[in-house]
Structure 1
């Protein structure tokens, strides 16, 4: 990067962190530290909720996802607006009325302590692992720019986020997230314009989309009903609805954001606006990835986008073989470029027969370049068995650093950093609040004063920060980060959601029945998931329904057992 880009990056990061720390000064009690004294307006709730969900993973992996396999991932969010409506009607007023710090406090009032502890424990596992992945995402950027190992960049970035979250608590998180999302929207808009500007003069926006469409990259909607297809309208509306309902309704990283609302109405309005804005924002991010794909049909992309892994191979004994593959790749791309130009002319002439012929020819040329890339990754594994051969997360970053103008590069990289900082800080804050309120205060130290609980919250944030940084160091082997986070959540969210639905709507079911049902459901979901029986979004539906059904089936047994014990006692 240029000195201008470094200046933009550093000034943006320092200004936002300083602003968040300044605005969050004076948190003297646990209520202020974990809930920000419940004083946030609706727009702050909306931006904070969006920033928590839109991590650096979104801005690194989503364009790469669209580049590699098209825009189908947008269907993942189709259930979000419906989930927001359900949350506003049920979850939000209940949590506000009970004046809880965490979502899991309610479960002890409704069921018992062990059910509360189980759901809190499941959340801590899921969110702790996911936060490690979230911290890892921006470390990719520094690693690529500085050409150093991601371990060092992970330690650096993680330490910065942990420091201001420990100091400021949820206010530091909320105030920084408001500015973060404003800059993110500005940067994405600028990036989209620049991609189109960098295309050849005779290739405008519509033709760029048309070329990407002929190569299967604009397939945003799929109505086929296939349980093994990850992204269709049905998996999005049904499976996505259950996932989003559980994520926003039972995951403390999100519940903690809208519990900061000044009233039920402010929290509701913030969530509804999130439901309206999220899908267009995600569509725009994926569209940028599609435009980058078209750009690389005219401009030769790197033979491998992860420059750190490529440099390792170049400096190894396999470099002669790599050079041969680079020459083959260059020739293959020239052939591909010829076919792209022919397709562009066919689209301009609206000759459907020629368009179909050129589409087939271009896809064949594309497969040739992919085959060469596969040979490169094989060499990488021969050189280093632990090499990261999935470069999907590096595609957009490579484009930004090589082709965008000075200043804008620094801004876009700042956006990715800010997104990571916002979601990571929210996660750490939620991990701390759940650990202190649901574990420490409830099970370990029930009689401490407010100052002790505030101190415990800061220590818990620090400890979870260290744990997540360690997890982040090992996150590079899991492929596409965006999918990894959602797959991980799908193993647990359905079970937790099922417990809450039973608590709200199945009044005759008690604590022991729902506790056993949750354990059985989680076991069955893990078996189905590990064996790839269905697409991962359906695990949310299955887990939720299993908890509800099994708890209803088990409740009569526990009633009889309770009656028998009472009879023997008398």
Structure 2
């Protein structure tokens, strides 16, 4: 990395940290710190949602998917749009009516504190595991360009992100996310331009070669449940995955609760689906360009392909900008995870058993939790076993989340639409749903691909919750 690249990176990291800390200055209570006074502009929240859910996995892993396959991953993104529309219709109104602070308060109103804490705890464990993968993946390019040990790279990313997240709260997280998304999208566009000049014949030649190799396939109508990127896995599996991630995951719900009203929340949520569709398409095309530039050479880890291109092929200055884009992508998700995990710890566990807790005390507890969660995320990333040759980080992270989203989404479905389910039957349904999908993941991964996990988990959770419940128990719980 040249002096110019290093200067760009240092200025970016210093500037974004200072700006984020300034944005959230003066927070006086938990609701202001975690929900930004519920007055954040929906466009900024939209960009933050996209930056949070995709981040480094989009920047580094999606090109690797196209490199080794085709454009069929777009089918998943199409399902994401459908899932967001469903959440905007049946879950967002319930969240907005009660001025909730976390997603899992909605379950407490129907099933009690134990169910709230169970689902919140599931969210915490899942987010810790999935986002440690993201942090690990982001440390790879930093290690490549600096020569630092992987542990040092993880520590630098974690420390810089923690500073502005700890000081600034959700307002800093959301506004910084929006700016970071613009940066890493610019990095993707720059990569397309550079690849056009690096490959003889430019994009016409890249697309011609990709077409001959079958890499321009977008729609795969196959009914093979073992294949992850088919039309049905994309539309149905992607829709349920999006409903789970955007309707039952505090990481995203927290942002939607910070909008000014229900209409703004809906615009941010549904609009983010179309933004993700564009973003995935952009980075899939980057993957096609890399495939042509490397002439289809084999790589041990798909996530290193784009990182290697940044190091090897880009000129000074441009390289520094794209490395900053990698950091931007990582920091957007890590900061969101720290803040969301802290909010659930403060509200769902500490304050839920202390009716006398005021907003100032909740703020103090939340900031202590932020320190603890940052340490756990960094430690998990350091201890993470390197990815296998067959999977990219995006597939590993989405696979981990898909194991539990069905159980969480099924619980919300029971709370909203069933009078028969009880607190006990809902918890049994959640455990059966998550347990069944985990068993499939362990023993039948080749037969059932990960995009189907949320749909299967939701169906099992709802079915078991209804069967284990009773009308008398439902009436008593109400």
Q: Secondary structure at the match of 1:70?
A: coil
Please tell me whether residue 483 in structure 1 is matched to residue 395 in structure 2: yes
Instruction: Give the superposition deviation at 1:416.
Output: 1.0
How do residues 420-435 of structure 1 correspond to structure 2 at under 5 angstroms?
Answer: 420-435=330-345
Instruction: Give the superposition deviation at 1:161.
Output: 1.1
Relative to the length of structure 1, the TM-score reads 0.80
Please tell me whether residue 399 in structure 1 is matched to residue 314 in structure 2: no
CA distance in 1 between counterparts of 2:285 and 2:229 reads 16
Instruction: Give the superposition deviation at 1:560.
Output: 11
Q: Secondary structure at the match of 2:16?
A: helix
CA distances 1:99-156 after superposition (whole Å, capped 9, x unpaired): 1110001101011222111111111110011121122222112211122321111112
CA distance in 2 between counterparts of 1:179 and 1:102 reads 25
CA distances 1:154-174 after superposition (whole Å, capped 9, x unpaired): 112111112221111111101
Relative distance call for 1:26 and 1:560 in structure 2 (3 A) is closer
CA distances 1:463-500 after superposition (whole Å, capped 9, x unpaired): 01100101001224233211110000110001100000
Please tell me whether residue 497 in structure 1 is matched to residue 440 in structure 2: no
Assess if the C-alpha contact under 8 Å between 1:501 and 1:548 holds in 2: yes
CA distances 1:225-280 after superposition (whole Å, capped 9, x unpaired): 11111111100100111111010001000001111101111111111211122112
CA distances 1:47-99 after superposition (whole Å, capped 9, x unpaired): 11011112112111111221122222222212111112112212222111111
- Root-mean-square deviation (CA, aligned residues, Å) is 1.9
- What residue number does 1:39 align with? 39
CA distance in 2 between counterparts of 1:560 and 1:177 reads 42
Moved more, 176-185 or 433-442: 176-185
CA distance in 2 between counterparts of 1:17 and 1:96 reads 31
2:423 to 474, 496, 511: 511
CA distance in 1 between counterparts of 2:270 and 2:402 reads 23
Assess if the C-alpha contact under 8 Å between 2:161 and 2:334 holds in 1: yes
Relative to the length of structure 2, the TM-score reads 0.95
Assess if the C-alpha contact under 8 Å between 2:420 and 2:474 holds in 1: no
Q: Secondary structure at the match of 2:232?
A: helix
Relative distance call for 1:98 and 1:559 in structure 2 (3 A) is closer
Relative distance call for 1:174 and 1:557 in structure 2 (3 A) is closer
CA distance in 1 between counterparts of 2:38 and 2:453 reads 34
- What residue number does 2:99 align with? 99
How do residues 318-467 of structure 1 correspond to structure 2 at under 5 angstroms?
Answer: 370=298, 390-443=300-353, 445-467=354-376
- What residue number does 2:50 align with? 50
Instruction: Give the superposition deviation at 1:219.
Output: 2.5
- What residue number does 2:15 align with? 15
Q: Secondary structure at the match of 2:421?
A: coil
- What residue number does 2:216 align with? 218
- What residue number does 2:278 align with? 280
- What residue number does 1:207 align with? 205
Assess if the C-alpha contact under 8 Å between 1:512 and 1:558 holds in 2: no
Question: How many correspondences in the alignment?
Answer: 472
- What residue number does 2:146 align with? 146
Instruction: Give the superposition deviation at 1:536.
Output: 1.2
- What residue number does 2:451 align with? 537
Assess if the C-alpha contact under 8 Å between 2:433 and 2:460 holds in 1: yes
Instruction: Give the superposition deviation at 1:562.
Output: 8.1
CA distance in 2 between counterparts of 1:54 and 1:543 reads 23
Q: Secondary structure at the match of 1:174?
A: helix
Runs of 5+ consecutive residues of structure 1 not aligned to the other structure: 298-365, 374-389, 564-570
Instruction: Give the superposition deviation at 1:559.
Output: 4.4
Assess if the C-alpha contact under 8 Å between 1:78 and 1:233 holds in 2: no
Q: Secondary structure at the match of 1:491?
A: helix
CA distance in 1 between counterparts of 2:185 and 2:135 reads 21
Assess if the C-alpha contact under 8 Å between 1:19 and 1:175 holds in 2: no
Assess if the C-alpha contact under 8 Å between 2:402 and 2:451 holds in 1: yes
CA distances 1:289-325 after superposition (whole Å, capped 9, x unpaired): 111110112xxxxxxxxxxxxxxxxxxxxxxxxxxxx
Please tell me whether residue 248 in structure 1 is matched to residue 246 in structure 2: yes
CA distances 1:362-404 after superposition (whole Å, capped 9, x unpaired): xxxx7xx65xx7xxxxxxxxxxxxxxxx421111011111111
Assess if the C-alpha contact under 8 Å between 2:421 and 2:474 holds in 1: no
- What residue number does 1:474 align with? 383
Instruction: Give the superposition deviation at 1:558.
Output: 7.0
Instruction: Give the superposition deviation at 1:17.
Output: 2.2
- What residue number does 1:547 align with? 461
Assess if the C-alpha contact under 8 Å between 1:513 and 1:558 holds in 2: no
Assess if the C-alpha contact under 8 Å between 1:248 and 1:255 holds in 2: yes
> Over alpha carbons, which structure has the higher Rg?
1
